[in-house]
Structure 1
Amino acid sequence: MDFYYSPRGSGCRTVIMVAKALGLELNKKLVSTLNGDQLKPEFVKLNPQHTIPTLVDNGFSVWESRAIAVYLIEQYGKDDSLFPKDPKKQAVVNQRLYFDMGTLYDSFANYYYPLYRTGKCGSDEDFKKIATSFEYLNTFLEGQDYVAGEHLTVADIAILSSVSTFEIFDFDLSKYPNVDRWYANAKKVAPGWDENWSGLLELKALSFFSPEGTTKHSFVLNMDYYYLPKGSGCRTVLMVAKAIGIELNKKLLNTSKGEHLTPEFLKLNPQHTIPTLVDNGFAVWESRAIAVYLVEKYAKEDSLYPKDPQQRALINQRLYFDLGTLFDSLARYYYPILRTGHPGSSEDWKKVEAAFKFLNIFLEGQDYVAGSHLTVADIAILSTVSTFEIVDFDISKYPNVARWYANAQKVTPGWEENWEGLQQMKQRFEIGKAMAK
């Protein structure tokens, strides 16, 4: 297995620790992003998104550290302790992994990455997001020794990599006693900690921070689904539920009235986000984690999220791409319209274009985004791409995406409900634009 990495990268260190926990030897290949190694044709052929870490296992290429980590466990783990097969336990692990990428590590990047470009940290608002992230993590760890269950999992390892990166920038963990307690223990029990710390010292020694870089059955279940029809993630879950033939007990949550901040809802989801699913007392949030949970728990077969580790790793990578690249670009450029009437910056627009270029590459010669048939990744990305349509984004510039999008609308159960929700979202954008006039 060839492992393209930099020892300083948080995601790279996550994979190294997971490999250590599994007793695997990786053929490590250093990639200097400063020298542009990631842009060389031979690397772009392996990973058109040209990110590290990237793993190549006997010709199978996968990137995004959390997708790699789960793949290694499912393919080579002697047991499932690091990534449980039980759908509920696994859903919590998945939620924490998405939390790590989309909330915790994202807050780090927004505040500390500017050091690389400008020599200065981000804004006070960016720092507040760090504090909020740690408050969430502190809540998750109340009365818990591990972040996602009763023993060490891949979620602990990924979050350990992120939290330890905060440490070398002298972030005060003592303000969050549950996190501080967990961190002290995690350093002792996580295999590969020494190599993680060695990479962190390299990072600390730098004078700047270098960014690394469908079944037809139908049955009623006791599941409360807190959502808004216009939300992209909410629509993803609705389509997945339709695809596996289950009925959700839909509960509209008016975030503009603060219903997500009530004590009752915070008890279910301390991160107070939607969508949130409560299945017979088991609460899970983050749309992609919910979608995978529903498929693994209630689908009659595994076509939407196959059990094969390589197929699953590819789907996971696309799900992380949707959250961290495609939907992120949508939110950064278009969501300001809802608040100010104006879109984001020209740099934000470039991120939109870059995201669609990547997706167009992924779909070269492919009818689906992660294999030869419809999966949960197609449904999640369909929800996002369809949101771009209502803001008049020209999808035709990306022929592979346009071809896939036209087909996805036809073959995805629940498309009609997705489109209905989009009309509500479109009205919100029109109101936002009117504010600027």
Structure 2
Amino acid sequence: MTPKLYSADLSPAVRASLLAIRALGVDVELVPVNLMEQDHMKPEYLKMNPFHTVPTLEDGDFAIWDSAAINIYLTEKYGKDDSLYPSNPEARAVVNQRLFFNSGILFPRMGAIVASLLREGAKTVSKDKADSLTQGYTLLETLLERSTYVAGEKLSLADLSIIATISSANVLVPIASNRFPKTTEWISKMQALPYYEEANQTGLNKFIGMVKSKLASGIIELFVIAAENDVIRSVHAKMPLTLHGYNLSPPVRATLLTLKALGLEYNHIPVSPAAKQHLTPEYLKLNPLHTIPTLEDGDFVIYDSHAIIAYLADKYADGGALYPKDVEKRAIINQRMYFDCGTMFPKFIEVIRAFFAGAKTISKDFIARITEVYILLETLLENSTYVAGEELSLADFSVVSTVTSMNTVVPLATNRYPNIIKWIERLQELPYYFEGNQEGVDKLAAAIKSMMS
């Protein structure tokens, strides 16, 4: 049976999957989804994808959504080789990190501008949103200064996801070639792919038409920010892993939970963003995106918690129960981790940034955004014991670290979210939960309380 991709190519996420399908040479039936006619809200669509997003892939009785999770699934099940998604744990971890960079940074920043045009009626791109997106360009430029493609010297799934986002973002906040020469050169490489025109440019043209119709006089205003001056180890290795991070951070706590669940020894080096320790030359050498956590494993360095924990499970547990190699189970776990990275965490961090900017209360808008996340998570947990099925997985560690952090600013109502409450209580029974997550949550709650007073 031919897999079906429910799609609307105006969407960058859909185009990322179309690029992967063409690159893989997979036979997939495309089923158009008319977003204007609310096809994605119809009962039959919601049965496949309760998040009502595009794209959604249906492969027999199996359905999966989120373009990155879809692309990984298609590659692992139908790919002729591992060139786009390497089987080597270190190379794969780098590709994963770049995919999460797209999902958690580039795509949400581009999406925030689109949302302001479509939902809020904005006629120009605001300076703060343009600045935020330009910062994303700066990070991408930093990555491309080190390699030909975004995850190394070969084309990968990460390139296909990021070009779909970046080509769309370029419509909103143009990429200056003199400021971002490596990014401009990489875009040209991607445009030279034999399937680029069909898989990305056709939908991108529709996106351009939509954007221009929403902006004043069809003119895109540009704002820019000022220029800113293989040793394989066993679990019992003598030199442990090194984790850089601060446990107030949900992504750091997701990594701590994984390390403890796998029984791995590690050194923990505190890195406090409040003290600007993530911006020191030493740290930037490890992680040019200056995020936490960062993991060192010998000479190998990887950042983004989702990529880190997948790497740890693959290398030290051969996938194991937390990240099984079954392609369908892993696809669901990946989708849930991208839900955390691209939807949950960005909404939470917006609130934290508001506090650091001097806010003393949580706005109704922020409450509404976090409530949307709670509703989606409650839906996921209606029919399963854990967020990705009936067994504990890496996705639980990512999601619980974020949702318990959200709970410190917008408390979960027991009567409204009974499934979430039961699931959290289930995770609290894990012998490593308190040290891995709750200690950091308590510190975060105290910090937020101090900022609100």
Give the shorter-chain TM-score range.
over 0.9
Cα offsets for 1:311-331 (capped at 9, x unmatched): 111001100111222223323
Instruction: Please tell me whether residue 153 in structure 1 is matched to residue 171 in structure 2.
Output: no
Tell me, in whole angstroms, the C-alpha distance in 2 between the residues paired with 1:163 and 1:228.
31
Aligned residue for 2:44? 42
Tell me, in whole angstroms, the C-alpha distance in 2 between the residues paired with 1:287 and 1:109.
22
Q: 1:246 aligns with which of 264, 271, 280?
A: 264
**Does the Cα contact within 8 Å between 2:367 and 2:410 map onto a contact in 1?**
no
Instruction: Please tell me whether residue 376 in structure 1 is matched to residue 394 in structure 2.
Output: yes
Aligned residue for 1:353? 371
**Does the Cα contact within 8 Å between 1:17 and 1:193 map onto a contact in 2?**
no
Aligned residue for 1:8? 10
Aligned residue for 2:223? none
Cα offsets for 1:236-269 (capped at 9, x unmatched): 1011000111122111112222111111111111
Q: 1:144 aligns with which of 147, 154, 158?
A: 147
> Which segment is superposed worse, 227-236 or 299-308?
299-308
Count of residue correspondences: 428
Q: CA deviation at 1:190?
A: 6.1
Tell me, in whole angstroms, the C-alpha distance in 2 between the residues paired with 1:159 and 1:256.
29
**Does the Cα contact within 8 Å between 2:252 and 2:305 map onto a contact in 1?**
yes
Q: Which runs of 5+ in 1 are unaligned?
A: 211-216
Matches within 5 A, 1:21-32: 21-32=23-34
Aligned residue for 1:204? 208
Q: 1:135 aligns with which of 135, 138, 144?
A: 138
Q: CA deviation at 1:412?
A: 6.3
Aligned residue for 2:227? none
Aligned residue for 2:341? 323
Secondary structure of 1:208's counterpart equals helix
Matches within 5 A, 1:189-200: 189=193, 191-200=195-204
Tell me, in whole angstroms, the C-alpha distance in 2 between the residues paired with 1:190 and 1:74.
22
Structure 1 counterpart of 2:274, which letter?
A: S
Secondary structure of 1:340's counterpart equals coil
Instruction: Please tell me whether residue 179 in structure 1 is matched to residue 208 in structure 2.
Output: no
Aligned residue for 2:80? 78
> Which segment is superposed worse, 45-54 or 293-302?
293-302
Change (3 A) 1:190 1:261: farther
Aligned residue for 2:226? none
Aligned residue for 2:380? 362
Tell me, in whole angstroms, the C-alpha distance in 1 between the residues paired with 2:77 and 2:318.
23
Cα offsets for 1:138-183 (capped at 9, x unmatched): 1111142111022110001111111221344471341201111111
> Which segment is superposed worse, 296-305 or 378-387?
296-305
Q: CA deviation at 1:338?
A: 4.6
Aligned residue for 2:440? 421
Aligned residue for 2:99? 97
Tell me, in whole angstroms, the C-alpha distance in 2 between the residues paired with 1:183 and 1:337.
37
Q: 2:68 aligns with which of 66, 69, 81?
A: 66
Instruction: Please tell me whether residue 278 in structure 1 is matched to residue 300 in structure 2.
Output: no
Secondary structure of 1:29's counterpart equals strand
Secondary structure of 1:423's counterpart equals helix
Change (3 A) 1:221 1:369: farther
Q: CA deviation at 1:112?
A: 4.1
Q: 2:426 aligns with which of 400, 404, 407?
A: 407
Tell me, in whole angstroms, the C-alpha distance in 2 between the residues paired with 1:125 and 1:119.
13
Tell me, in whole angstroms, the C-alpha distance in 2 between the residues paired with 1:186 and 1:58.
32
Q: Please, what is the CA RMSD of the aligned residues?
A: 2.0
Secondary structure of 2:18's counterpart equals helix
Secondary structure of 1:411's counterpart equals coil
Q: 2:58 aligns with which of 29, 50, 56?
A: 56
Tell me, in whole angstroms, the C-alpha distance in 2 between the residues paired with 1:409 and 1:416.
11
Change (3 A) 1:166 1:335: closer
Aligned residue for 2:220? none
**Does the Cα contact within 8 Å between 2:370 and 2:410 map onto a contact in 1?**
no
Q: CA deviation at 1:81?
A: 0.7
Change (3 A) 1:173 1:417: same
Change (3 A) 1:220 1:402: farther
Q: CA deviation at 1:421?
A: 1.4
**Does the Cα contact within 8 Å between 1:110 and 1:126 map onto a contact in 2?**
yes
Secondary structure of 1:32's counterpart equals coil
Q: CA deviation at 1:186?
A: 1.7
Change (3 A) 1:326 1:343: farther
Tell me, in whole angstroms, the C-alpha distance in 2 between the residues paired with 1:125 and 1:228.
27
**Does the Cα contact within 8 Å between 1:68 and 1:313 map onto a contact in 2?**
yes
Structure 2 counterpart of 1:29, which letter?
A: V
Cα offsets for 1:4-49 (capped at 9, x unmatched): 1101110101111111111112211111222211111111111111
Change (3 A) 1:428 1:143: closer
Runs of 4+ in 1 over 4 A off after TM superposition: 217-220
Change (3 A) 1:36 1:343: farther
Cα offsets for 1:176-223 (capped at 9, x unmatched): 01111111112213634433111111222235369xxxxxx7655442
